[in-house]
Every structure is written in C-alpha cells, then in structure tokens.
Structure 1
Amino acid sequence: MIPLAEAQAAALELAGARPVVEVGIDEALGAVLAAPVVVADPLPPFDNTGMDGFAVRSVDTQAASRATPVTLSIVATIAAGHDPNDVVVTAGTAARIMTGAPIPKGADAIAIVEDVIVDGSEVHLTAPIAAGTHVRRRGSDAAAGERVLAEGTPVTPAVRGLLASLGVRKVFVHRRPRVAVFSTGDELTDLDPLPPGKIHDSNRPALLALVAEAGGIPSDLGAIPDDPALLGRAFDEAAASADLILTSGGVSVGDFDYTKQVLAERGTMRWMQVAIKPAKPLAIGRMGQTPVIGLPGNPVSSIVSFELFARPLIRKMLGARTWHRPVLTARALEPITRHPDGKLHLVRARAHVRSGELVVEPYRLQGSHVLSGLAGANVLALVPDGDGVAAGEPVRVLVIGELDGPAGVSIVDALEA
C-alpha cells in the first residue's frame, strides 16, 4: 500500500490549469479568474444617500434640538435613478431624497425620515446632523484604477454581482474542464423494476453531480457493460472530447480485467492500493494527453475517492488557489472505534457547532456499500491507524458538506444566547 499523500500528489501531477478564455459574466459562474479585475470607473459613480430622508446642509442643523427644532423648506423630491442637476439645496432648505439617489448640489448630509417631523412643505429637525451623515461617497466601494478582484478568485454569485455593478461584462477565466464520467459493469441498469441480479447505477449520478459542484463540466457517457469493445469505444470517445476521464469500477483486485485491459492497450496507467479505508483501490494515468482517474466501484468508496483525488485535480485545472477541502479539529461525542490495519480510516460522520465548539458523531453503519450514512454525513473523520478515538478526544475531520448548529437554532437565537 502507498500513503495517501503520495497518491494525492500523483493525481495532482496529471494536469495543470486549463487555457485562459474570455467569457461573459453570465457564463463565468463557477469558473476562476485568470486575470485581476481593475475598476475602470469609481463605484458608486456619484455621491448618493444610504437612507430615505432629506438632503440638508449640515451647517443649517447645528442649532436644532427637541426644544428648538430647526425648520427647513422642502424644495424638491429626488428619487433613485433621477438626475438632480436642477436641484440646489440652499440655506434654510432641504430636498426629500430616496435611498440610492444622487446627493444634490449644496447638501452634505442626510436627515433620515425617522428623525424628522414633516409638516406639509416643511421639515422640522430636532437634532444636529454632522456633515457626511448617511452619504455614500463616489468611489467609496472601489476607486477608479483599483484592483478589486485578484487572479485565482472563484466567480461566486457575490463576485458576479460585483462585476455587474462595475459594468464589467466579460472576464478572463480558466476554461472549466470537461469531465467525462461513466460506470462499468454488467450488473448496472436503468430499468425499473430491476431484473434479477441487476442494480441501479448510483455512482454515475453522484459523480456527475460532484463534478458540477467542484466546478467542472460533466459529460455523461452512461453505464458500459463488461465488454472490451464497448469499453474501448467509451474510452476513445472520452479521450477525444474531455479534459479528464472519470470511471468507477474495474480497478479492484479480482475485478474483471476488461477496464484494465482496455486502459493498458490505450494509455499509461498506474494501479494503486492506497493506505485508506474506504477507497483503497485507485487507478491514475493518461490516454494520450487526457488524464484518467479510475475510482472504486463500491458507492461510498467511489465518492470518497472522488473527494480525495478527483476533486483536487478539477480545482487545480480550474486555476483555483485552494484545491483541497478544509480539515478542522472536532471533539468526538462518542467513541470512534477501529482496529490497527495500516490504513487511515475515513469515517462518515455528522459535525455541528455546539456552544461554540465543533463536535462530531460517527454514523453506525460504515460499510463501503452503505450510501445512507454518506448521504447524511458532512465530514469524514480522519482516524489514524490504531485503536480509534475515545469519546471526548479531538479528531481531525475533512469537511465535505455544510456545517450546522443545533437543530432549529437561528441567527437570532444564537445572538440572544
């Protein structure tokens, strides 16, 4: 068996970042910036109000108090999206203004609606307003010439929104890798009800979703029977059209040799036994210039192997700055038992935050065919070779899903606790 670190390093050597392309921001979601984004025009492009209220001259408000309010005449109403070029706030006047509207000439502060009394065409202020109050200055978010997004930044929904607010319509990104996915095995079928001896193909749908989640573009090549000619055609099609080939099944000791035979004839492969449980068998290599990763056929092993080997490679091909899932330290709420066998055990578990501490509970069923535990897991507890982890002891966890707090606890509940 080879160490996990050696197998991961070998998988990451298969490919680098994909070529740089220019795409519209609508297509960029999920990709990674290949060049920094520099602001052409300031954001916001003009001084504007952050609140509904009245644009005033701060000097006119300094004597205001509840006992002696300052009264100003309302000379205009300025809505967001309208040019107030013909509006001038002079001594003793104010302009009604809506959030986001430009600040009119003469005004330097906003008195918010909650703090004034409106009486017809007049507004009464009961407290002084400092210059700049609730004014969002031109360029306060981003100045012209400022680099707002660095190379290697993933294009998230928030990044896409920022690009749109800057008027950026196209960006340079690394082309998202096309990932061909197929399963192998005579036992797989899409028929329902299941014929005798057949099973539904769970690996391929899961892997297609994992590819998309990682940022790749999945290509579904179906389930291929244990037939050398059909397997050969599938591999040839994948190598001609994809940046990465992912298969599941046919890499374990004792499996039918067809997948290995076809890959040996068409590519250069390395067959591994990795010192982990589950997901011990692994195949990596190339068909021509196209990387190939062969994952185990057991459903849990296939997904765990993807997380450890395929996902980091896809992230690297995207040009991302971080390739691996985060690893955190949690406290085991109950024992995580195992026996010495020379392997790192990746135990399906559920982690959540309790009283500010990350705690973890393992699932009872850990067989490599039991998908139900993995479906509910948000971490894999990394249990080194030995006798396991006692309740209350720390354990490292690989985060593979969304961490959560106690059931039913909202942000408000947490803040009031």
Structure 2
Amino acid sequence: MLPLETAREFVLDRCAARKLERVAVADALGLVTASEIVCSEDIPQFANTAMDGFAVRSADVADAPCELRVVETIAAGHAPQVTVGPGEASRIMTGATIPPGADAVVMVERTSMAKPAGTAAGGADNPETVRVEVGVPPGNHVRHAGDDLQAGAHVFGVGTELTAGHLGVLCSLGMTEVEVFGRPRVGVLSTGDELVDDGSPLQPGQIRDSNRRTLLALAHRADVDCVDLGLVRDDPDAIEAAILTGVDTCDAIVTSGGVSMGDFDYVKAVLNRIGDMRWMQVAIKPAKPLAFGTVGDVPVFGLPGNPVSSMVSFELFARPGLRSMMGHPDPIRATVGATAAEDLPRRVDGKTHFMRVLATPKNGGIEVRSAGGQGSHMLWAMANANALAVVPDSDGVRAGESVDVLLLD
C-alpha cells in the first residue's frame, strides 16, 4: 500500500495551475491572484471624520466647555466650502471631508446646540452656535489620507485567495478586473447498469446514484465550475464517448467506482486504453483504492464507489488537486488539534483511519465525538459529520486524548 503523502504528491505533481485570466472583480470570489496587487492611490484619498460631530480647531476647545459659531454643514460626498477659522466649527457627518482650518472632530454626543440660527437678537441672520463640552487633541476622530493604504504599498501578493474582504479592497482601489489563475471546469460522471437516478422504484440489484450529486456539490464547494456529465450505462463505447466529451469541454474529470484492484470495470478498461492512469491502493480507510492519471493533459480522478469512500477520497485527493490547478500555494487542508470526548476505537491494520466525527467548540478548544457508523457505505453518518478525525495505525483514541482533525465545515 502507498502512503497517503506519496499518492497525494503524485496527484499534485500532475495538477499544475491553469493559465492566467483577467476576470471581473465581481466574479473573482474564491480565485487566487496571479500577480501582485499594488496600491495606486491613497486609501482613503482625503482626511475624513470617523464620527458625526463638529470639525474644530483643537486649540479653540482646549479650555472647554466653550461655544463656537457653526459656519457650515458637511455631508458625506460633499466638499467643504468654508475654512474653519478661530472660534468656528463645521457640523460634519461620518465619512465627510475634514474642512480646511480644522484639525479635530468632537463627537456630537459631547456637544449641544447653544443657540439655533435665528433665535436671538438679529433674527434669521444670527448664526447657529454649538456648545462643546470637552477638549480634544489634534487628530481626534480624523481618518487621515492614506490611513489604510498609501500609494505604492504592497496590497496582496501572488497566491492570495480572494475573499469578500479582498474584493472590497480591490473595489476601493478602483479595480474592475483582477488577474487570477482560472477557475477549472470539472466534469462529474457516473457509470453502471445498477444505478438509477429518476426516482423510480428500485428493481432487484439496483441502487440509487448518490455519488454524482454528492461529488458535484463537493466540487461546487471547492469553488470550481461544475459540469454534470450524466449517468452512463455499462457500454464501453458510451463510456469512452462520455469521457472524451468531458476531456474536450472540461479541465478535469471525476468519476466514482470501479477502481479496486482486480475489478473488471468498463471505466477502468476505457481509461487504460485512452489515458495514462495509475491504479493505487493507499494506506487509508476509507478510500483505499484510487485511480488517477490524465487523458491528454486533462487530470482524471477515479474515486471509489462506496459513498463515504468517494467523499473522503475527494477531500484527500481531488480537492487538493483542483485547488492546485487554481493556484493555491497550500492546496491541502490543514489539520487542527482536538480532544476526543469519547473513545474512538479502531483496529491495527496498517492504515490511517479518517473517522467521521462531530466537532464542537469547548473551553477554547475543539472536542470531537463519533458521528455514527464508520462503514464506507454509511452516508448518513458522513452527512452528519463536520470533521474527519485522523487516527493513526493503532487501537484508537481514548476519551480525553488528543487527535488531529480535518474540519470540513
């Protein structure tokens, strides 16, 4: 049996990052930068206020409480028209430009209107006056130009996965497109006369095709474009036609079933004829059998047919391979430490076991317990799991002991 690391290295070596593309920022979520992003302008571009309040000269309020004449109201998006002179203030709204002459902002909660316009002798020509209750230092509640980013600054390097926050930064820089590694188009195929997917009553020997929908969903969660290549009967010509259609239209193909050693399977026969495939037995449970290779230059992942094995194999091999194609510098999901809340038993068999568990936060750490049956056919327990406990070859993990886990959700 091959060690997991050896099998995965074989996969990753053949899943090179795809060609570079320029995509709209709106479509770049989950993609990886292919070039460095450098700030072209100061962010923010102008000094503005972090609070609703009054823009003042800090020297004028050093002996607060005091009263200042209000010379202007400045809303966000509007340029100030008046310079703040001695004994003066401008009413200002959050995000608005600090007016000339002012060097600080007093939040509105620390002020009160001493004299609304037109209420004293002089009528409507009498200006508004604000009473400032506290003194403030220069720069109080002022966001200076370049406070977040300065022109010429490094923003994001090559290999950055773009999250919602990253996209917001790109928009703040005025970017409408970004250079990224392309999003792979991944085709998912099911084969077998025993499979049905039309909801009809099962006939003797038939099973419902759950793997295709599951793998399409897992691929979607991996941020790739998914193509349903359908359910194909056990006919070599039909299988070859479906695979070649996938090769012509997709960047990678995922199949399930027919990869065990000694199996006679039409998919295996076809892939051996048209592809450069390697059929492996990996020292893990579930998901021991794995087929991987290329048809032309298109990677083909042949995953096991048992539902849980198919999902675990996708997590350990297909997902890292697809992420590598997307330019992720660290395509393999990292493990985190956890504590077993109950015994996680297993037997010595020369394999690393990936046990389906429920992970929950507790006392600043993570606690895990079994999600149910551990058979490779027990899809319900896998659906309930949100993590895989990585249990090395042993008799298991005892309650209270540490165990590494892969967090799936």
Query: Structure 2 length normalisation: TM-score?
Result: 0.94
Deviation at 1:254, TM superposition (A): 5.4
1:328-382, Cα deviation, whole Å (9 max, x unpaired): 1111111010111111110000112211122111123111111121112121111
Q: C-alpha separation between the residues in 2 aligned to 1:10 and 1:385?
A: 23
Matched to 2:214, the amino acid is: A
Distance of 1:255 and 1:187 partners within structure 2: 16
Question: In the alignment, what sits opposite 2:121?
Answer: none
Q: Whole-Å Cα distance in 2 between the matches of residues 324 and 270 of structure 1?
A: 21
- Cross-structure match for 2:359: 351
Deviation digits for residues 103-151 of structure 1 (CA, Å, limit 9, x no counterpart): 1111110100111112322111121111001100111111011111111
Partner of 2:12: 12
Partner of 2:407: 399
Q: What residue number does 2:330 align with?
A: 322
Cα distance in structure 1, aligned partners of 2:41 and 2:180:
22
Whole-Å separation in 1 of the counterparts to 2:312 and 2:319: 10
- Matched-pair contact (CA < 8 Å) for 1:331–1:359: yes
State the SS of the aligned residue for 1:342: coil
SS in 2 for 1:305: helix
Tell me how far apart the structure 2 counterparts of residues 122 and 292 of structure 1 sit (CA, whole Å): 75
- How far the C-alpha of 1:200 sits from its partner, in A, is 2.7
Counting only pairs closer than 5 Å after superposition, residues 385-396 of structure 1 correspond to structure 2 as 385-396=393-404
> Equivalent residue of 1:182, what SS?
strand
Which of 82, 95, 98 aligns to 1:100? It is 95
1:228 matched to 2:224? The reply is no
Which one of 238, 249, 253 corresponds to residue 257 of structure 2? Answer: 249
**Post-superposition CA distance 1:79-111 (Å, at most 9, x none):** 001111x22111111111110001111111010
TM-aligned CA deviation for residue 211 of structure 1: 1.4
For the residues of structure 1 that align with 2:174 and 2:372, how far apart are their CA atoms? 52
* Residue 110 of structure 1 pairs with residue 118 of structure 2: no
Aligned partner letter, 2:33: L
Mapped to 1, the partners of 2:208 and 2:19 lie a distance apart of 37
Give the Cα–Cα distance (whole angstroms) in 2 for the partners of residues 146 and 324 of structure 1. Answer: 30
More deviation, 5-14/199-208:
199-208
Give the secondary structure class of the aligned counterpart of 2:183: coil
**How far 1:215 moved relative to its partner?**
2.2
Question: What's the CA shift for 1:208?
Answer: 1.3
Specify which of 54, 57, 79 is matched with residue 83 of structure 1: 79
Contact 2:338–2:405 (CA under 8 A) maintained in structure 1: yes
For residue 51 of structure 2, give the secondary structure of its aligned residue in structure 1. Answer: coil
Partner residue of 1:142? Answer: 149
Cα distance, 1:255 vs. partner? 4.0
1:246/1:295 contact within 8 Å kept: yes
Distance 2:329 2:94 in 1: 38
Letter in 1 for 2:70: I
Distance 1:92 1:188 in 2: 84
Match of 1:340 among 345, 348, 361: 348
Q: What secondary structure sits across from 1:205 in the alignment?
A: helix
**Percent identical across equivalent pairs?**
50
Amino acid at match of 2:311: I
SS at match of 2:32: coil
**Structure 1 spans left out of the alignment, 5+ residues:** 402-417
Kept in 2: contact 1:56–1:95 (CA 8 A): yes
Count how many residue pairs are aligned between Structure 1 and Structure 2.
396
In structure 2, distance between residues paired with 1:118 and 1:182: 72
Q: How does 1:260-279 map to 2 (within 5 A)?
A: 260-279=268-287
SS of equivalent to 1:63? coil
Cα distance in 2 for partners of 1:200, 1:95 equals 71
For 1:49 and 1:61, locate their aligned partners in 2 and report how far apart those are by CA, in whole Å: 17
Shift of 1:311: 0.7
What aligned pairs does 1:5-404 form with structure 2 within 5 A after superposition? 5-64=5-64, 69-84=65-80, 86-119=81-114, 120=116, 121-197=128-204, 198-253=206-261, 255-401=263-409
1:413 is aligned to none
Do 2:261 and 2:279's aligned partners in 1 also have CA atoms closer than 8 Å? no
Cα 1:194–1:253, aligned 2, differ >3 Å: closer, same or farther? farther
Deviations 1:182-238 (A, max 9, x none): 112222222123332433322111211211221221111011222111110011111
Q: Normalized against structure 1, the TM-score is what?
A: 0.93
CA distance in structure 1 between the aligned counterparts of 2:372 and 2:218, rounded to whole angstroms: 24
Determine if contact 1:54/1:97 at 8 Å carries over to the other structure. yes
Secondary structure of 1:87's aligned partner: coil
| Partner in structure 1 of residue 123 of structure 2 | none
Q: Is the 8 A contact 1:208 1:218 kept in 2?
A: yes
* Partner Cα distance (2:62, 2:370) in 1: 64
